[in-house]
A and B are shown apart, each in its own frame.
Chain A
Amino acid sequence: MIKRIFIRDTNSSSADKARDFCNVLRNQLREKQMDEKVQLIRAADMGVYNQGIVMRILPDDLLYGQVEEKDIPRIVSETICGGKRLNDLMCHHAARQCRIVLRNCGVVDPESIEDYIAQDGYQALAKVLEQNDPEKVLAELKTSGLRGRGGAGYPTWLKWNLARNVKESQKYVICNGDEGDPGAYMDRSVLEGDPYSVIEGLTIAGFVTGASKGYFYIRAEYPLAIERIQKAIDQAYACGLLGENILGSTFRFDAEVRLGAGAFVCGEETALIASIEGKRGYPRPRPPYPSTQGLWGKPTVINNVETLANISPIILKSGKWFAGIGTETSKGTKVFAVTGKVKNSGLVEVPMGTSIREIVFDIGGGAGSGKKVKAVQTGGPSGGVIPEDFFNTPVGYENLQKIGSIMGSGGMIVMDESDCMVDIAKFYLRFCVDESCGKCAPCRIGGTQLLNLLEKISDGKGEEAHLAALRRISFAMQKASLCGLGQTAPNPVLSTLNYFEDEYRTHVLEKRCPARKCGRLFRYSIIQEKCKRCGLCVRNCPSDAISGNREKGYVIDEAKCSRCGLCLETCKPNAILRG
């Protein structure tokens, strides 16, 4: 059988070194007359990083790392000709992904119900309907330890059980696909890539809780997800997997899509309900919880997309199997959207308990820009930043909370040295201020005040007392806001302030932004010795801040400069200084 060897220089993005290495290897294979039996392939990515030259040999499936040219002779003679494994070269394979939620994403055609059925689709629903015992499903979910993947982490079985125990003829189940966290798109991916698994999960939720109607509440900004879910619903109706007598049983379940309209607060349960009712998405105080009084006053269960995608595998493979993955209190896997200053932006699904370091460096490939990774942010506008010192923390609901962030829905944004923490806090806070529905004062007024303070700090008008004020207002918002949005809005401020107080102090005391992000705290100037007097910067400056002429040279008027950086980019001799 022909051997195939994949080769890549995992330290650099250039293919030069790998190419040279391949040539040497090819020559040595030729000497042994093996070149016909081996194909060498330069890979573009191997899922392994910073391990020098890496070789993956098929069909033996060996992974060698830190391979040098001097190792080639023995690789050729022992592994390729002799079929022997060279243990000293074996590369430790980084954290493996484990796909439960994303099991079908990228595997099935999302517009084909047959494809889904071929991957054991609807077997879980068939099993549930055949056994006809909701309590058994609840018991299985309880064993599994599945908790809500939307962020709060409430045990799913408990949520279902609460609604199930209410005596009421009409109940509802809702799939929350209002993925409002900017920088996260796990739900979009699942809805687009595997819509049937979510529909199946929601149908099972309907059966267990006694609800005959389900809603998909999806952001209007996700047109493809809406289209795919709608098509899948139509097809499921046509196949008798929705509607009356599902799979020949007496169970009836209807499902319908409702669209969000661009309001972050609608991710909150009670606001989401108001929105489906066609009203402003105002949250209301709880209790009563939706499980007793929800949509149109009826008992309602709201589950996140990812939670629902976990249901079928648990029923098919057992709760015990699921509970075997993850940590003591956080079971199963979690999907993260790893984005920002990371080499490989994408979705990763890892067992709970995987460390942040493994996610960012082993799977994500590190910063990729050559700059140092400074922190990650999880949980979006409700979460916090986690500095690099805490990257060994295993992910889990409680663990992340302990270090001042939250699991959230799964956004993980990587930041490097060029990102300013005051700026980040400002970004999230502006988001929350924009999205605050204005119903309660702590969120409406507190948020604005926090933002004002942060703006002063980043404009160089900050005072030391402002730092204490930030903490005080944050505390008040956490304690007194009506819903989750206001209670968690100060988290990005508090966590940046706790971990990067130095950076805040540099802004306040030295009026300097170490990352050079805050426009008022750095300036552009022209290094006269380097300047070639070409005048390109003058022509490009949008705010006419550069004056002078070819004889006398040019200067930048700091008062007029908008800090756009165009001069820096256009200057050929690099005569513009930013500092």
Chain B
Amino acid sequence: MDAAQLEKDVSEIAGDWKNKEGNLIMILHRIQSKYGYVPREVSLEISKHLDIPLARIYEVITFYNYFKLEPPGKCTISVCMGTACYLKGAPTLLNELERVLGITEGQTTKDGMFRVEVVRCLGCCGLAPVLTVDGKIYQGVKKNEIGEIISKYAAEENGGNGGHKEKP
């Protein structure tokens, strides 16, 4: 990333949070929603911009599950592991996803297409089991629907958008 551009981006992201107390987590949220994860060079720039040590930033990032240090796949599939989903078969869904995509939870497929994650609870317990693909919620998912969901997204990526998008 171009240094001048990065500096501009970071000062935009920090924005009016710069001078507020306890701003770090909120700024990290903004970074993650822009880049999909917290890139190291952005953390370095934030450290300069806010005048706090990089270690302080990493201390916070690594404590909270929500922040990611690696770029996500083009599609992120999050399987809810709340108690209701767990009882209603979320582990089976996760196994099936892992089997179909050939990766384990927390990994991204080799082509960078899919990433599988486990999330705590999406708060849709009445619709259990649920999983989300890029934020879209699928409710009452059954094991034999997994293949269908994945091929739908795979087709979308390979079809309309001219094949491949550059990753950030």
Task: Find the B residue at minimum CB distance from A265.
Answer: B63
User: In the bound complex, do residue B123 and residue A263 qualify as a contact, i.e. CB atoms below 8 Å apart?
Assistant: no
Known: A261-B29, A261-B64, A377-B83. A221 touches B119 (CB 8 A): yes
Task: Find the B residue at minimum CB distance from A296.
Answer: B21
Verify if B101 is at the interface (C-beta below 8 Å from A).
Answer: no
B21 neighbours in A (Cβ, 8 Å): 277-278, 296
Q: Which one, A113-121, A130-138, A340-348, is touching chain B?
A: A340-348
Verify if B115 is at the interface (C-beta below 8 Å from A).
Answer: no
A275 contact from B25, B65, B82, B128, Cβ within 8 A: B25
A278 neighbours in B (Cβ, 8 Å): 21-26, 60
Verify if B141 is at the interface (C-beta below 8 Å from A).
Answer: no
A277 neighbours in B (Cβ, 8 Å): 21-22
Can you list 11 pairs linking A and B with CB atoms under 8 Å apart?
A: A180-B120, A183-B83, A221-B121, A258-B22, A278-B60, A281-B63, A296-B21, A339-B83, A340-B84, A341-B87, A564-B99
Bound: A545/B65 CA distance, A: 36
Verify if B122 is at the interface (C-beta below 8 Å from A).
Answer: yes
B70 CB, nearest partner CB in chain A, Å: 16
A564 neighbours in B (Cβ, 8 Å): 92, 95, 99
Chain A 540-555 residues near chain B, CB threshold 8 A: 542
User: In the bound complex, do residue B25 and residue A419 qualify as a contact, i.e. CB atoms below 8 Å apart?
Assistant: no
B99 neighbours in A (Cβ, 8 Å): 542, 564
User: In the bound complex, do residue A340 and residue B126 qualify as a contact, i.e. CB atoms below 8 Å apart?
Assistant: no
For this complex, into which size category does the number of interface residues on chain A fall?
Answer: 35 or more
Q: Map CB proximity to A onto B5-33 as digits: 1 under 8 Å, 0 otherwise.
A: 00000000000000001111110110000
User: In the bound complex, do residue A340 and residue B65 qualify as a contact, i.e. CB atoms below 8 Å apart?
Assistant: no
A437 CB, nearest partner CB in chain B, Å: 8
Bound: A179/B82 CA distance, A: 12
Number of interface residues of B (CB under 8 A): 38
A531 neighbours in B (Cβ, 8 Å): none
A258 neighbours in B (Cβ, 8 Å): 22, 25-26
User: In the bound complex, do residue A413 and residue B83 qualify as a contact, i.e. CB atoms below 8 Å apart?
Assistant: yes
B120 neighbours in A (Cβ, 8 Å): 180, 182, 221, 262, 264
User: In the bound complex, do residue B25 and residue A184 qualify as a contact, i.e. CB atoms below 8 Å apart?
Assistant: no
B60 contact from A223, A280, A340, A346, Cβ within 8 A: A280
Verify if A101 is at the interface (C-beta below 8 Å from B).
Answer: no
User: In the bound complex, do residue B83 and residue A345 qualify as a contact, i.e. CB atoms below 8 Å apart?
Assistant: no
Q: Map CB proximity to A onto B49-61 as digits: 1 under 8 Å, 0 otherwise.
A: 0000000000110
A457 CB, nearest partner CB in chain B, Å: 18
Chain B 51-93 residues near chain A, CB threshold 8 A: 59-60, 63-67, 81-84, 86-88, 92
